[in-house]
Amino acid sequence: MVDTVIVMGVSGAGKTTVAEDLARVMGWPMAEGDDFHPPANVAKMHEGQPLNDEDRWPWLRSIADWIGQREAEGQSSVVTCSALKRSYRDVLRDGHPSVRFCHLITGIGLIRGRMEHRKGHYMPPSLLESQVATLEPLEPDENGVVVDVSGTEQEVLQAVLKALGLTPVGS
């Protein structure tokens, strides 16, 4: 069975860390959703301007294409993507039956602190409010789980594995 986990949430929630850990213990390939942004999107965010839907559609389709390639190869995978709106998640899962979402949540103060202390990321802390305002939580008919990321990295990984019902390779 092919399983695609999209680790979602606002910037600073820990998507990359969780996805890297999940990919490592499951032996799956991982893609960083930010790497699919065209240069214009990166420049816009770097300048402190939030993206609009028109900016996001091509980016989301690129991620969906990557998912489709992994599915065609019969390969489970994990990818990060903020996936803030239901309509964005619909693009990601359209035609991709393997997709499940793992929505990372925690307090805004913890997220802001993470954003203020990370280096080399184009998403400034000033855009956090726009992401929180845009976020639409998973709906009951969406295939996904919600995981609080306020614990240690290992605690969060264990919570993600449990919520998704996944057993690491070699366990």
pLDDT digits (tens, 9 = 90+) for 106-142: 766 566 566 556 565 555 555 557 677 788 999 999 9
- Determine contact, residues 79/10, Cβ cutoff 8 Å: no
Report yes or no on 121 lying in a domain. Answer: yes
Report yes or no on 170 lying in a domain. Answer: no
Structural tokens at position 87: 């309509």
E strands, the chain, where?
Answer: 4-8, 30-31, 77-80, 99-105, 144-148
- Determine contact, residues 135/87, Cβ cutoff 8 Å: no
pTM score, whole prediction? 0.86
Residue range of the domain that includes 133: 4-164
Beta-bridge mates of residue 145: 102
40-83 per-position pLDDT tens digit? 988 887 787 878 889 989 999 999 999 999 999 999 999 999 89
Structural tokens at position 73: 């190869």
Look at the chain and report how many structural domains it folds into.
1
For position 53, which CATH number holds? 3.40.50.300
Report yes or no on 171 lying in a domain. Answer: no
CB atoms within 10 A of CB 73: 11
Q: Are strands 4-8 and 30-31 parallel, antiparallel or unpaired?
A: unpaired
